Amino acid sequence: MVNMFENAVIREILEKYKRLWAIGHSMALMGWDNETYMPPKGSEERGYAIAEMSTLYQEMLLNESFVQLVEKGKNQENLNDYEKGVVRVLDREISILKKIPPSLVYEMSKTSEEAFHAWKLAREKNDFSIFSPYLEKIIKLNIEKAERLGYENEPYDALLDLFEEGLRTKDIIGIFDNLRSNLRSLLDKVISQKYYYFNSPLEGIKYEREKMEKVNNEVLNLLNFPWDRARLDVSPHPFTQGMGINDVRITTRYEGYDFKRSLFSVIHEFGHATYELQIDENLKMTPIGGGVSLGIHESQSRFWENIIGRSYQFTQVIKPILDKHLDFTKGYSEEDLYRYFAMVKPSLIRTEADELTYNFHILLRFELERLMLKGEVKVNDLPEIWNQYMEDLLGIRPKSYSEGILQDVHWSHGDLGYFPTYTLGNIVAAQVRNSLLKSISLYDLILEKKFNDIKASLRELIHKYGSTYRPKDLLLMKLGESYNQEYLINYLREKYLKI
C-alpha cells in the first residue's frame, strides 16, 4: 500500500481517529441489524445502546487534546490533498458537534431508534397515528438542531448542508424550478406517444420469492458483486450500509409481484455498494474513507439502476437469467421487457417511480420538509397535504397512509434535509454518463458484459477519492462543472423522445 499520509501530525491524528472509526463501525453494524434481523422488541435496548454510543463518539471527537491536534493539523504546511481532506472533514465534524449538545445527540438517537419501529408498525397497519407522535418529536428536535447549527436564510439550509456540504435551499429551489417545467412537458409528450406509457401484464404477475432470489443473486454475479466483501439481505425498505471498505451490506424486498421492483432495488443498492467498495484501500479507517455526500452517492446508485439497468442493452443481457428462473418471462420479447423496465407511468410510491416522474416525488418531500422546519404545518395535517401535492404534481391521490406519507423510512431515522440529494443524484448520474461516453463505449461494454471496465472508469472518476474533496470541488475537478440539470433533461429527451 502507498502511504498517502506522510505528515507526522496527520499520521498522529489518524492513529487517534481509529477509536472513533471503531465506534462508527459498531453503530453502523447495529443500524444494519436493526433493519434486518433484530427482534422487534429489542428496539428499546437498542435505542439506548445507540444513544450512548452516539454521545460517546461526540465526547471523544470533542476531547480537547484531539481538537487541538486537528487545529495543529490545519496549520501544517505543504499537506497533500488527502491530508487536507482529513483535516477538512474532521474540522467540519468538530464544528458541527460543538454546536449540538450531547443531550440533543442522545435524544435524537434514542427517538429515531424508537421511531423506526413505530413507523414499521404504522406502515403495516396503515395507521399514521402510531407514528405521528414520533414524527412530531423528530421535527422539534430537527428545528432545535437547525437553530443551534445556524443558517443563512432558513432552517432547511442548516440540515441540507449536513448531507450535501455547501449546498443551500436556494440552490435546490433553482434546480426544481428548472426541472418541474421541463419534465412536465416531457412527461406529457411521452404519455401522448404511448410507447413508454402503458400497462404491462408483468406488473401484476406473481413470482415465487425463492426464484426471485436466484435472479437477484445471478444478476449480482453478472455485475461481479464481491461476495467476500459484501452481502445481500432483506429489509422493509431497501438500503446500503457500509461498515468499512471491505464490508458493505445491501438489502432488497420481495413483494411477490411486479418483479422489477425487487430487481431494480438490488441494482440500485449495488451502485451504492460499488462506490464504497472502490474507495482507495489506503483510505481505510480514515475520516475520508467513505462517500463524500449523499448526492454523489445517489448518483452512483441511479447510474446503475437507470442508465445501466434500464437500458435496452442490459435488458438483452439479463433476459436469459430471467427466463431461466422466472418461467413467465419466456413469453415476452426483449422489447417487451425493456418497455416494462423503462415504462413511464405516474405512481404513488417513490421507490417504484420511473425516471421521468421520480423527481416530482422528491419535490413533494422537499416542500413538506421546509413547511415542517418553518413550523407552518401540523403533523396531523401532513397526510392530507401530501395527498394534495401528489394530485397536483402527478394527477394521482393515495388511498392509504402506507402508499402516501408512511411509504418512506427516512423521517423515522430523524433525517430531514435528506431528500433533495436524490434529485442531485439523478442530475450527477447524467453528468457522469456524459463524461464516460467521451472515453468509453458504455453501451457496447454492457452488451459485452464488461462491467468491471465500467466500474474501473467510475472508480477513477469518483470512487477512489472517498471524501477527500468537497462534493462541488470533486465535480469541478473530474467533470468540469458543478451540478447541472441540463444533462438530466437531455438524457431523458434522448431516451424517451429520441431527440
268 is in an annotated binding site: yes
Write down the H helix ranges in 75-127. 81-99, 102-125
Residue entry with cell 413467465: 328
Identify whether the C-beta of residue 28 lies closer than 8 Å to the C-beta of residue 243. Answer: yes
Coil, strand, or helix at residue 483?
coil
Q: Which three cell numbers stand for residue 481?
A: 462543472
Cα–Cα separations (whole angstroms), residue 388 to 80, 179, 252, 377, 419: 52, 20, 30, 14, 19
Which residue type occupies 203? E
Other Cβ atoms closer than 10 A to 330: 10
114 is in an annotated binding site: no
Least Cα distance to 162 among 174, 170, 150 occurs for: 150
Identify whether the C-beta of residue 204 lies closer than 8 Å to the C-beta of residue 345. Answer: no
Identify whether the C-beta of residue 253 lies closer than 8 Å to the C-beta of residue 262. Answer: yes
Coil, strand, or helix at residue 373?
helix
298 is in an annotated binding site: yes
The strands making up 240-244's β-sheet, listed across from edge to edge, are 230-234, 247-252, 240-244
The residues with which 484 forms a beta bridge, in sequence order, are none
* Torsion region of 311: left, alpha or beta (phi above 0 gives left; psi -120 to 50 gives alpha): beta
Q: Which three cell numbers stand for residue 295?
A: 448526492
Which residues are tagged catalytic? Answer: 269
The residues with which 257 forms a beta bridge, in sequence order, are 206
Contacts of 245 (CB under 8 A, 6+ apart): 276, 277, 279, 281, 283, 284, 289
CB-count burial class (<10 Å; 0-12, 13-18, 19+) for 203: middle
- Intra-chain end-to-end CA distance of the chain, in Å: 47
Coil, strand, or helix at residue 234?
strand
CB-count burial class (<10 Å; 0-12, 13-18, 19+) for 213: middle
Least Cα distance to 301 among 239, 361, 249 occurs for: 239
**Residue ranges of the binding site:** 268, 272, 298
**Residue ranges of the binding site for Zn(2+):** 268, 272, 298
